[in-house]
Amino acid sequence: MTARIIDGKALSKTLREGFKSRVSALLAQGVQPGLAVILVGENPASKVYVGNKVKACEEVGLRSFHLGLAADATEAEVLATIARLNEDPLVHGILVQLPLPPHIEPRHVLEAISVNKDVDGFHLYNVGGLVVGNTIFPPCTPYGVQLLLDTTGTDVAGKNVVVVGASNIVGKPMALMLLQREATVTICHARTRDLAQHTILADILIVAAGKPGLIVPQMVKQGAIVIDVGINRLADGRIVGDVDFAGVRDKASWITPVPGGVGPMTVTMLIENTLRSAERARHLRASDDYQDWEAPKRPPETD
Ligand SMILES: Nc1nc(=O)c2c([nH]1)NC[C@@H]1CN(c3ccc(C(=O)N[C@@H](CCC(=O)O)C(=O)O)cc3)C=[N+]21
């Protein structure tokens, strides 16, 4: 079997086209959705990611605010910047690019962001929302993976899903979202003993461990859906995921490429969350009924 490609770039393009009418509707009401990105220091990879985000914002008509702070900026300075953006009505989403320099405690920073502007979904309130099955802003990468899975037409309910990698920004929230959809979820680490014994059972294998070549064909069940969240830059400059793409492609039914899979979807869902924040801000002001995001219910059974 040669797996079909789950094309994150194409899905992103379609979704971003769809965003334009929502931006127009907001503009007609005098609101331009705005995203503020805070970057502390000069991490070259972070600069590329922030650049991608700002570019994507412009593409769909969002206003973006890029706040660059020096690498030696104090935690108090970062918190003061956030406090100002929390109050700024032109800003609907605030993102602090991770990783932060070691002298800054990420939890202090993430908890300072208004939950109404936490478009990354990293604030404890939004994380807690995932645990009980709804949240204001689902975190962008797992949210994007969920949409990529949906394009395969697979109902995850009852399926074995194995998530490799238990980070706060991908693995853990991903597992919670799939659990809500009634998948049987196993969370592994790159160092899980006999990792292959777990991954071989996966109908859906999601890999976010940051280790190139971690997943080889012998670890994958015939016909599995494989989602590669890893982004690793090799010495020769090539970007690869955590999955041996060429090898695993012969066993899987569907697979995401790197680049062009999950990465572009992360940026797209950031824009989705920022748009929703702007839409939601209007409703909150008008104090009418507003339904926050809720994990989609299992689709009705058809016979
Ligand atoms: N507060 C915060 N929120 C984040 O969402 C966040 C972060 N910090 N820190 C770093 C990670 C990483 N991340 C990516 C975004 C876009 C691509 C992306 O566009 N990838 C493309 C291009 C890859 C390339 O050429 O480098 C692709 O996979 O096709 C990848 C990775 C967001 N992150």
Query: For the chain, what's the residue count?
Result: 303
**What pLDDT is stored for residue 119 in this prediction?**
98
Decide if 7 is catalytic. Answer: no
Decide if 120 is catalytic. Answer: yes
**Whole-number pLDDT of residue 288:** 58
Residue with CA closest to ligand 1 atom 9: 98
pLDDT by 10-residue block (mean), the chain, 303 residues: 96 97 95 97 90 92 96 98 97 97 97 97 96 94 98 98 98 97 96 97 98 97 98 94 98 98 97 97 70 58 50
The ranges assigned to domains in the chain are 16-115, 140-262
pLDDT score recorded for residue 283:
77
Whose C-alpha lies nearest to ligand 1, atom 11?
Answer: 98
Q: What ipTM, to 2 d.p.?
A: 0.95
pLDDT of residue 295: 59
Name all contacts of 13-22 with Cβ < 8 Å and 24+ positions apart. Answer: 15/147, 15/268, 15/272, 16/56, 16/59, 16/60, 16/268, 16/271, 19/60, 19/61, 19/271, 19/272, 19/275, 20/60, 20/61, 22/275, 22/279
Look at residue 297 in the predicted model and tell me its pLDDT.
54
pLDDT for 106-131, tens place per residue?
Answer: 999 999 999 999 999 999 999 999 99
267 lines ligand 1 (CB under 6 A): yes
pLDDT digits (tens, 9 = 90+) for 19-46: 999 999 999 999 999 999 999 999 988 9
User: 78: buried, middle or exposed (CB in 10 Å: 19+, 13-18, 0-12)?
Assistant: buried
Under CATH, to which class is 140-262 assigned? Answer: alpha beta
Q: Which among 265, 290, 281, 295 is positioned nearest to 135, based on CA atoms?
A: 295
| Fold (CATH) for 16-115 | Rossmann fold (3.40.50)
The pLDDT score that the predictor gives to residue 246 is 97
Q: What is the pLDDT of residue 134?
A: 84
Query: What pTM value is reported for the model?
Result: 0.94
Q: Which of 118, 120, 203, 228 is catalytic?
A: 120
DSSP H helical ranges for the chain: 8-28, 44-60, 75-87, 106-112, 124-131, 140-151, 171-180, 195-199, 245-249, 262-286
